[in-house]
Structure 1
Amino acid sequence: MATTLEQRIDAFKRLDDVKLTFARRDWFPGTSGNLSIKTGDDPIEFAVTASGKDKTKLSSEDYLIVDVEANPIEKTNLKPSAETLIHAVVYKNIPSAGACFHVHTLGNNLISELYFSRGAFSIQGQELIKGLGIWEENARISVPIVENFADIPKLASAIEKVITPEIPGVLIRNHGIYTWGRNDFEAKRHLEAFEFLFEYHLRWLQLRHIDLP
């Protein structure tokens, strides 16, 4: 069923809340980043941030509804974010995903560059891994990292090859992270957990050679 007016209004309101929360954390430098919330499964449709908007502010033209090919479902002057096709790849390949968020931070950029040659960033035994819904004792996760291809279809294809339901995120080298969840609350929790794990690891790298008293 196509997205209804009520679903559209609800999705836009929830995107407002997420956008302002992340903006207060400076996770959208230079209008970067994009957010989406799925509004329908058959066919797949989702609300996504419009391109080039100041994400520290709210306006009546911040979002639009697109289909699984990342095309607007109705005539509009708005352009979907350039990387909307990546959101579509997530929704096509992770059926449980109901929201997908992408931000650029120093932490996720540094981690993606440091560990790109390994193809993934791995961390074990950190409490915030539970924020990803992984509760095994001394759990270990590996977050895949793909090359930052300028060609968006090529980038989307690279991401499609590595994402799995078990790890709700993927890093793009020197670019940022995409993470998702069953809804906006869960996707936000996953993103916060990832960002904490990245910052923790970077601080640990800095401090591990300090002699303790």
Structure 2
Amino acid sequence: MPTFHEAQTSVIELAHFAASRGWLPATSGNLSVRVTDHPLQFAITRSGADKSRLRPEDVLLLDADMRVQGDGPYKPSAETTVHVALYQKFGCGSILHVHTVYNNLVSELYADQGFVEIRAHELVKALGHWEEDAVVRIPIVPNWADLPRLGSAVAEAARVDVPAVLVRAHGVYAWGDTPDDARRHLEAVEFLCEYVYKLDLVRLARGLGAV
């Protein structure tokens, strides 16, 4: 397990990476790295922080009840409930939540079926699927305003073989055993969301209908 300082550094590096891609607009999103298992403690971005200019004091140490460990004026994001639910379900090492146009569009387009399906694409290997003609279904859940309910919905929909969940018209949660794993999974999902959306446009333009 990393120390809090090490986890803080990882969160800042992840935030700067995601912000440089335009994935954390208008202080949105939240990113965390687990520090201990028993009791659960993790480093997470504070509420309202500009992720492109994140400083050490913008990364808080929290427990499973979302209580800030130590002194300071800042509060954690209310969406911390989702991080807690995922850590408790999987024991993963890092969770990343970002908001992008493509993951929002795909979550809207496929919300009624509850998942977006990707077939036989090279990038599903980054999600751990190396079999020939692999099929991956990324779950989609409603954007519940009740955040404990949102946390429960994301954790319930989350599957061990697909390290991401889309929240309709909101964003995506991706996770992994390490911060690097979480980053790889997030990059792959973002690429695949853009791919699915653009492929649907091409199919519609050719009169073939969406996938």
Same fold (TM over 0.5): yes
SS of alignment partner, residue 4 of structure 2:
helix
Please list, as runs of the form range in 1=range in 2, the aligned pairs for 1:117-156 lying within 5 A after superposition. Answer: 117-156=112-151
Match of residue 111 from structure 2: 116
Contact 1:124–1:141 (CA under 8 A) maintained in structure 2: yes
Identity fraction in percent:
42
Match of residue 7 from structure 1: 3
The C-alpha deviation readout for 1:101-158, integer Å capped at 9, x for no partner, is 0000001000101011001111110000001011111100111111101110111111
Structure 1 residue runs of 4 or more that deviate by more than 2 Å after TM superposition: 73-76, 208-211
Contact 2:33–2:94 (CA under 8 A) maintained in structure 1: yes
Looking at structure 2, the residues matched to 58 and 148 of structure 1 have their Cα atoms a distance apart, in angstroms, of: 26
**TM-score (normalizing by structure 2):** 0.94
- 2:27 equivalent among 27, 31, 41: 31
The C-alpha deviation readout for 1:34-90, integer Å capped at 9, x for no partner, is 000000011111000000011111324211000112221233311011201100101
Looking at structure 2, the residues matched to 158 and 176 of structure 1 have their Cα atoms a distance apart, in angstroms, of: 14
Contact 2:8–2:56 (CA under 8 A) maintained in structure 1: no
Match of residue 55 from structure 2: 59
Contact 1:94–1:164 (CA under 8 A) maintained in structure 2: no
- 2:170 equivalent among 132, 155, 175: 175
Alpha carbon RMSD of aligned pairs, Å? 1.4
Unaligned runs of 5+ in 2: 207-211
Unaligned runs of 5+ in 1: none
Shift in Å at residue 207 of structure 1? 1.4
Contact 1:181–1:190 (CA under 8 A) maintained in structure 2: yes
